[in-house]
Amino acid sequence: MKSPAVLKMALLPGLMFASALATAAPVKIALVETLSGPQAATGLTYRAAVRYAVERINADGGWHGEPLELLEYDNQGGPAGAADKLKAAISDGAQIVVQGASSAIGGQITEDVRKWDLRNPGRELIYLNVGAEAQALTGDKCQFYHFRVAGNAPMRVNALVAGMKQDQALGSKVYAINQNYSWGQDMEQAIVDGAAAGGYTVVEKTLHDVGKIQDFSPYVNKIAASHADTVMTGNWGSDLLLLMKAAKTAGLKARFGTVYLDQPGNIANAGDVALGNYVAQTFNPEAAGEAGAAFMQDYRAKTGHEPTFIEPQTVFGMLLVGEALRQVPAGDGKLDVRKLALALEQASIETPMGKLSMRAQDHQALLPLAVSVVSRDAKYKADGTDMGFKPVKRFTAEEAAVPAQASCRMQRPD
């Protein structure tokens, strides 16, 4: 097995002296992400955001003057690969594992972390979930060392329904098309559950294989035949890119209500067909005003591109960890992961979109959302086109929240 790439981000010059005097051991963060294969574009986006956030945390002093170390592992897009790379990360001394692309992989990681922590008291590991949004992860699979700093299907769909209805763009007939695994199934259920509030009928539901469909034209033909006003989908990665491409080719007239339309490449792929389609976002720079513009500028300066898609939520989630780390004393110089988990339960930060905090009951982050429409009037353009995401409705963290699931019966450490 090849050694992981190790990125030790340097402190700012003014902090070098403090680093030299520090007694704290380095905190090691392992990114276990899809860095190769058909969904690599998403995994590489997570990597860019994590690198940026680690650099910011280190510039702010790291943990008691010692910079965080970032270890990177390619899970090759599957649970088996993730399980193997998690073992490698543990062997390399990781204390926090970060992952987001795919709830199937997230389910594997949270279970493996749970088992490891039970068997190795004093050597616990935290799983920071920056994008795996399946309900089960904060439901019947919730566990003390798992923290989700992304949304979930009911949060996203509720926001979409409210935003599109307010904009008189929802219609009365909705087609649900989603990937056939936990996340997609949750999205389908949330779309069905939202029908009463939205005043629509779900005319048809489709679940399809993940990352295996090369031509979505048969699905687009079914959507057209259903006479749906709106297509709601939680698709991401190549499955959304190819769905949008097929919609463009067919000239599909139905609107899309999405979770990940702001994924790089989607607007360019869809062209004018993207106009009038909606997305429920964790960040919209226009909605975030001056703070959003400042974040955009800094991110672009550090990474070479503007933050979009899942990057902002990943950055904000990592900064929440940075805030929690500040609350954990150095002690004997080694991070007490249990104390970090307890601090994370109480942590909150102010993001450009508003307050982000962690709900202790199920370790689901409470985060602001925005619903946006693809428009030429948007202040910030996407994919080098003349189109961007114009905010139509903004939700505070409290407004976007849904109740914790009764199935979460978290076992807390003594």
Percentage of the chain modeled with pLDDT above 90: 87
Statement: residue 22 has pLDDT above 70: no
Q: Which domains are present in the chain?
A: 5-151+288-366 (3.40.50.2300), 153-281+368-400 (3.40.50.2300)
What is the mean pLDDT of the segment spanning 119-128? 97
Per the prediction, the chain carries an average pLDDT of 93
Percentage of the chain modeled with pLDDT above 70: 94
Give 62 or 39, the one with higher predicted confidence. 62
What is the mean pLDDT of the segment spanning 392-413? 96
- The predicted-structure confidence for 229-240, as pLDDT tens digits, reads as follows 999 999 988 899
Amino acid at site 234: G
The pLDDT of residue 23 is 58
Nearest to 321 by CA among 137, 74, 19, 97: 97
- Can you tell me the distance from the alpha carbon of 18 to that of 32, in angstroms, rounded to the nearest whole number? 30
> Any residues with CB less than 8 A from the CB of 366 and at least 6 apart, and which?
355, 356, 357, 358, 359, 397, 398, 400, 401
The pLDDT of residue 237 is 85
- The predicted-structure confidence for 133-158, as pLDDT tens digits, reads as follows 999 999 999 999 999 999 999 999 99
Please report which confidence band the pLDDT of residue 406 belongs to, taking 50, 70 and 90 as the band edges: very high
The pLDDT of residue 106 is 97
Crossing angle of helices 103-119/182-193, nearest 10°? 110
Angle at 45 between CA 132 and CA 181, to 5 degrees: 30
> Dihedrals φ, ψ of 375, to 5°?
-150, 150
What is the mean pLDDT of the segment spanning 296-300? 97
